[in-house]
Chains A and B, each alone.
Chain A
Amino acid sequence: MDPRFTPAQDEWRAEVRAFLDAELPARWERNSEFYEDEEFWKFAFAFTRKVSERGWVGLTWPTEYGGLARPVIDRLIMAEEFTYRDAPLVNSLGWGLAAGALLAGGTEEQKLRFLPPIARSEVFWAEGFTEPGAGSDLASLTTRAERHGDGWLVNGQKTFTTWGSHADVMFLAARTGPVGSRHRGISIFCLDLRAAGVTLTPLYNLGGGRQNHTFFDNVEVPGDALIGEVDQGWNLIMNAFYGGSAYAPYMEHQRMLDKLVAWCRTTIRHGRPLIDDPITRDRLAEMALIVEADRLLTYRSLGDMRAGRQQPYAGALGVVVQKEGMPRFAELTNLIVGPLGQLSEGAPFAPVDGGPEAWYRQAFRNHAGGTSQVKRMVLATRGLGLPR
Chain B
Amino acid sequence: MDFTLDDDRLALRKVVADFFAEKSPLPVVRRLEDEGTGYDAATWRAMARLEWTRLGHAESIGGVGGGVLDLAMLYQEMGRSLYASPHLESVVVAGGVLVATGGHPALLAGILDGTSVVVPALMEPSGTYPPEGIELAWDGARLTGTKVLVPYVDNATRLLVASRGTEGVVLALVDPTASGLTVERSPNIAGAPLFTLRFDGVSADRVDGGWAVLAPVLDRATVLRSAQIVGAAERLLDLSVAYAQTRSQFGKAIGSYQAVQYLCTDIAIATHLASLATLRAAALLDLGEPAVQEVSEAKARASAAARVAAEKAHEVHAGFAFMMEADIQLFTRRLRHWELDLGDEDHHRARFAEALLAS
A residues apposed to B, CB below 8 Å: 1-6, 9, 73, 261, 265, 275, 278, 281-282, 284-286, 288-289, 292-293, 296-297, 299-300, 302-304, 306-307, 309, 312-313, 317, 320-321, 376-377, 379-381, 383-388
Contact = CB atoms under 8 A, between A and B. Distances in A.
Looking at chain A's contact residues, the main secondary structure is helix
Which 3 pairs of residues, A with B, have the shortest CB-CB distance?
A380-B261, A303-B3, A303-B4
B356 A317 contact: no
Contacts of A281: 350, 353, 357
A1 B6 contact: yes
Interface string B254-290: 0110101110110011001100110110011001000
B349 A265 contact: no
Contacts of B357: 261, 275, 281, 284
A70 B263 CA distance: 41
A379 B272 CA distance: 13
B5 interface: yes
B283 A385 contact: no
Given A1-B283, A304-B4, A313 B241 contact: no
A296 B277 contact: yes
Contacts of A1: 2-6, 9, 69, 279, 283
B266 to A, nearest CB: 9
Contacts of A284: 353, 356-357
Given A285-B353, A303-B2, A383-B268, 5 more contacts: A73-B1, A285-B300, A307-B4, A317-B272, A320-B269
A62 to B, nearest CB: 23
Interface string B346-359: 00011011001101
Given A376-B261, A386-B256, A386-B264, A302 B3 contact: yes
Contact of B287 (A4, A302, A321): A4
B253 interface: yes
Interface residues of B, number: 43
B297 A289 contact: yes
Given A289-B300, A384-B241, A296 B280 contact: yes
Given A304-B4, A380-B261, A386-B241, A297 B352 contact: no
28 contacts: A1-B4, A1-B279, A2-B287, A3-B3, A3-B280, A4-B1, A6-B1, A265-B359, A281-B353, A284-B353, A285-B356, A289-B301, A296-B273, A296-B276, A296-B280, A297-B276, A300-B3, A303-B4, A304-B4, A306-B2, A379-B265, A380-B255, A380-B262, A380-B265, A381-B261, A386-B241, A386-B245, A387-B255
A2 B282 CA distance: 10
B71 interface: no
B264 A380 contact: yes
Contacts of B3: 1, 3, 296, 299-300, 302-303
B233 to A, nearest CB: 14
Contact of B256 (A4, A6, A387): A387
B244 interface: yes
A387 B253 contact: yes
Contacts of B349: 282, 285-286, 289
Contacts of A297: 273, 276
B268 A288 contact: no
B280 A388 contact: no
Nearest to B1: A5
Contacts of A292: 277, 297
Nearest to A309: B4
Contacts of A385: 241, 245
A369 B321 CA distance: 38
A281 B351 CA distance: 10
Contacts of B301: 289
A261 B358 CA distance: 11
Nearest to A383: B268
Nearest to A283: B353
Given A1-B6, A2-B283, A289-B300, A384 B256 contact: no
A285 B347 CA distance: 12
A377 B259 CA distance: 10
Nearest to B289: A4
Contact of A3 (B1, B9, B253, B268): B1
Given A3-B3, A3-B280, A384 B265 contact: yes
